[in-house]
Amino acid sequence: MGFVRDWFGADEGVTDVASAGNGGVATSSANGGAVSLGNVNSGGNAGNAVGVGDTVGSVAVDGGDVSNSTDLGVSANGGTAISDASGGSYNLAFVS
């Protein structure tokens, strides 16, 4: 007669482990990627216009200071990443 294991009997010093397939590793990413902007027009930016009529002698003309600021807010949100590591059907369990 061969070896018969007593599954529900006394501790025989042997550990039975049942294993079944799993889905493995699932990775996902929601990178925003690259953003491309076309031409950005922030206004005419002509500065100060100064008109000088007929003059005699030395003439000094000061057009003043010109400053222009253009602020851009750009976002490349990646959205939501969803991963699935389902084990699937028909996995076999075995005892080792």
pLDDT tens-place string over residues 10-56: 556 666 666 666 666 777 877 777 888 888 887 777 778 888 999 99
The candidate with the shortest Cα–Cα distance to 40, out of 8, 67, 63, 71, is 71
- Indicate the pTM of the whole model: 0.32
Residue 2, pLDDT > 70, answer: no
Residue ranges of alpha helices (H) inside 1-96 are: none
Phi, psi angles (nearest 5°) of residue 35? -120, 130
- Please work out, in degrees rounded to the nearest 5, the angle formed at the alpha carbon of residue 60 by the alpha carbons of 56 and 64: 145
Q: How far apart are CA 43 and CA 68, in angstroms?
A: 9
Three-state DSSP at 94 gives strand
